[in-house]
Amino acid sequence: MPLFIVAFIAVPIFEIYLLISVGEEIGAQWTIMAVIGTALLGATLVRRQGLATLAKFNASRGTTEGPAFIVFEGLVLLMAGVFLLTPGFFTDALGFLCLVPALRARALRVWISKHSVAVNENQRRSSGDVVDGEFRRLDD
């Protein structure tokens, strides 16, 4: 949670710094056009990849392999859209990184493997407390 608060404060400050620095180098009009251009390009790419992910999701529903990975991929694409529609160059860079399919798949596999181990450990710990069996009332 503290990392989230720091990012919530630091990212806008860094974005403002970048916008001012780029504006001094190339001018305010070109900076504004660049921000709008990256938002439009990003929205187009997110839409295209989102529709492809939706098609993969629909195709995977009938198979034995679950669509969980595809759902997480869709969530990363949603984050990419948010990053790309947020004005600024740093968030645009993060958004475009989320749009690289190989990088997105690799990051998701690492995240899923890291978190699925924790789930399995929790299941092992709780399995020692549960006793499965049958019972019969003797007082009837």
pTM of this prediction exceeds 0.85: no
* Helix %, strand %, coil % of the chain (to 5): 80, 0, 20
Name the phi and psi angles at 131, rounded to 5: -115, 125
Amino acid of residue 16:
I
**pLDDT digit string (tens) for 4-56?**
888 889 999 999 999 999 999 999 999 999 999 999 999 999 999 999 988 88
The CA-atom distances, in angstroms, between 3 and each of 6, 11, 52, 82 are: 5, 11, 33, 19
> Which residues contact residue 60 at a Cβ distance below 8 angstroms, ignoring those fewer than 6 apart?
66, 67, 70
**pLDDT digit string (tens) for 29-40?**
999 999 999 999
Q: Indicate the helix (H) or strand (E) that contains 92.
A: helix 89-98
Residue 53, Cβ neighbours under 10 Å: how many?
A: 19
